[in-house]
Chains A and B, each alone.
Chain A
Amino acid sequence: DTGVSQDPRHKITKRGQNVTFRCDPISEHNRLYWYRQTLGQGPEFLTYFQNEAQLEKSRLLSDRFSAERPKGSFSTLEIQRTEQGDSAMYLCASSPQGAGETQYFGPGTRLLVL
């Protein structure tokens, strides 16, 4: 069990640029979640997938954000035209089927928009 992995771990970009993050869940988990965490706050839910279907999106996920999980395995989160307010830690988690199961988190991708 290699756990949830995320790439890159850190990203510095200039305002207006596009960035893409990748998440590889635990292999047998069919649910995958994205959260965003700013300094001193708890994580906030962004979106989640069951297999390749995106089943829920938070209102936090503006039109500049898009997430995909094309084959039900890894997922990508893209932010277009980044803004300074997008600076945060982006966390990915996965869980097996079944509501209320433990979610296993990756190490996160820390984004800094200059």
Chain B
Amino acid sequence: KQEVTQIPAALSVPEGENLVLNCSFTDSAIYNLQWFRQDPGKGLTSLLLIQSSQREQTSGRLNASLDKSSGRSTLYIAASQPGDSATYLCAVPPKETSGSRLTFGEGTQLTVNP
């Protein structure tokens, strides 16, 4: 059974800092890995999707890396802003099924202080 763990559970940083969020998964047989953002009481917004054949993906100030063999992914946020405050979730679908149900980590709650 796939298990996804995110560290740290919560993070508070001053505005302008670069930061790294960590995600680990137990079964390396994955199609891809997704990073999502969730604002309080809201749904999820997809940030980045890394295919299993890729090592990293970038979007603006966000960079996600994937090391399948070690079961790890990181989300790097450059020059953090107060608007980045949210919960960040990583998720993986299984490779052995025809569907793509996602297994999520518990998230990292990020607070960026002005």
Contacts and interface: CB of A to CB of B under 8 A. Distances in A.
A43 B100 contact: no
Interface residues of B, number: 27
Interface in B75-114: 89, 91, 93, 97-107
Contact of B107 (A42, A93, A107): A42
Contacts, number: 71
A42 B100 contact: no
Contact of A55 (B43, B51, B99): B99
Interface in A94-114: 95, 99-108, 110
A91 B43 contact: yes
A2 interface: no
Interface string A18-51: 0000000000000101010000111111001010
A40 to B, nearest CB: 7
A106 B106 CA distance: 19
B45 interface: yes
A65 to B, nearest CB: 16
Interface in A65-114: 89, 91, 93, 95, 99-108, 110
B103 A45 contact: yes
Given A91-B44, A103-B46, A42 B106 contact: yes
Given A50-B99, A56-B99, A99-B98, A42 B4 contact: yes
Contacts of A4: 43
A107 B43 contact: yes
